Structure 1
């Protein structure tokens, strides 16, 4: 079993929890009345895009630091991220979550095009934590599990200097024989397997349950792009059977 999550009562006694909300009034006033159309067309100025690593305890400082992740991008991206920060730091969470969900329902197509996977997953996490629709939460959890599993796999590849050079003998084995992995599962038949195609069909059916299920499909589609080097894009390059392709 994982470590037990603290109750809200226990969290209330954490000084750092309250400290992370300092300056909320100033930030809240900044995002109290926004023009979404203006945010979509106005770019964040800066010279270099820099990702944050960790977060400042001061809320104002953290919101400002986040701007560096969106240099050259629409201000709406930063507004979206700021809403998530306010929600997670429990600054008028109910009202800010309502704004967050309304933003997604109104600007779904724009956000799907504009946000990177990091913030699409952050959005999924926020819906899962705060929405009351069990179907939506379950649908979006598909994306979270998918990306976190890939993070583990790709991190281990970096950590252990794993090579992705193919072994011809192993490739032939996978084409003609079953190769056991763990607990009854077997390896993918590289180039021909229909597993991912069938999974994609099921995923699309599940994601039709709610309009925001398109977030999951967008993330899955991005994993097939060559520039997003990962096990999905690499196996796409190795696939040879047209009728079993999953992209």
Structure 2
């Protein structure tokens, strides 16, 4: 990969700055509330801006993105949304050291509450955040198991949907074209706040592979074995396909390729 030129680096810096614009205001808004207050406050539709409900998973505008996410927390304690907001800020690299310290403190002191009220989707997002940021390598390695478990479940549920359709659960069928097209078009809800694997474009497995690779510095041998097993699942074994090879066959985006031939 070539090194970005001066003007390219400037554009990247501007883009990242725009993605963080208003972050300090958002942090102040939450800091003005206590943990108990956020536990007691239930998010309602009136607290969300209907015009910000775009249905798109990402937008550069931080306020619009968070308001879009807030719709997912209607009927839930505001503390759950706060946890999600911290994850968004970390992914946009807003004061990562301070923001992660707040995120980790929140999970340390409110573990039971968060596990009770958060959907699987946001629990796994928290696990990903710990894997990406935690200085404790053991904690990161343990939580990588949770991420792997759910990502593998999503892939296999997606394969089942592709072969069985939405109603027929009696026998395996060839992949159904209409279901493939539905997964190409948008994220489809599964359960627990999870979605089916976004056929063609999903970057989940690429991100999972990147997180595996970070453990090379922890244990080179174990990580080498782990990635070897992962790679073997990306091609037919004894001429038998599996859920991972199915997703690979349907994939389109060059940017989110997760396999290595």
1:141 maps onto 2:138 in alignment: no
Q: CA deviation at 1:12?
A: 7.4
Question: Does 2:164 align with 1:165?
Answer: no
- Residues 1:44 and 2:43 are matched in the alignment: yes
Aligned-pair CA distance for 1:106: 0.4
Instruction: Judge conservation of contact 2:134–2:140 (CA < 8 Å) in 1.
Output: yes
Tell me how far apart the structure 1 counterparts of residues 19 and 155 of structure 2 sit (CA, whole Å). 29
Query: Aligned partners of 1:164, 1:138: CA distance in 2, in Å?
Result: 36
- In the aligned structure 1, how far is the partner of 2:170 from the partner of 2:16? 47
State the secondary structure of the residue aligned to 1:20: helix
Query: Secondary structure of the residue that 1:160 maps to in structure 2?
Result: helix
SS at match of 2:76: coil
Q: Is the 8 A contact 1:11 1:17 kept in 2?
A: no
Residue number in structure 1 paired with 2:91: 88
The alignment's TM-score, normalised by the length of structure 1, stands at 0.58
| Structure 1 position 108 matched with structure 2 position 111 | yes
Deviations along 1:130-171, whole A, 9 cap, x unmatched?
00111100100011011111111111222233654269xxxx
Give the corresponding residue for 2:15.
Answer: 16
The secondary structure found in structure 1 opposite 2:45 is: coil
CA distance in 1, matches of 2:10, 2:80: 30
The secondary structure found in structure 2 opposite 1:124 is: helix
Note if contact 1:51-1:68 (Cα within 8 Å) is conserved in structure 2: no
Query: Aligned residues, how many?
Result: 162
TM-score scaled by structure 2? 0.55
- Consecutive unaligned residues in structure 1, runs of 5 or more: 168-247
SS of alignment partner, residue 31 of structure 1:
helix
Worse-superposed segment, 36-45 or 152-161: 152-161
Q: Could you tell me how far 1:51 is from its partner in structure 2?
A: 9.6
Match of 1:150 among 146, 149, 153: 153
Root mean square deviation of aligned Cα: 2.9
Q: Which moved more, 1:157-166 or 1:121-130?
A: 157-166
Larger Rg: 1
Tell me the CA shift for residue 20 of structure 1: 1.2
> Offset of 1:112 from its aligned partner?
0.6
Contact 2:164 2:171 in 1 (8 A): no
**Structure 1 residues 138, 97: CA separation in 2 closer, same or farther (over 3 Å shift)?**
same
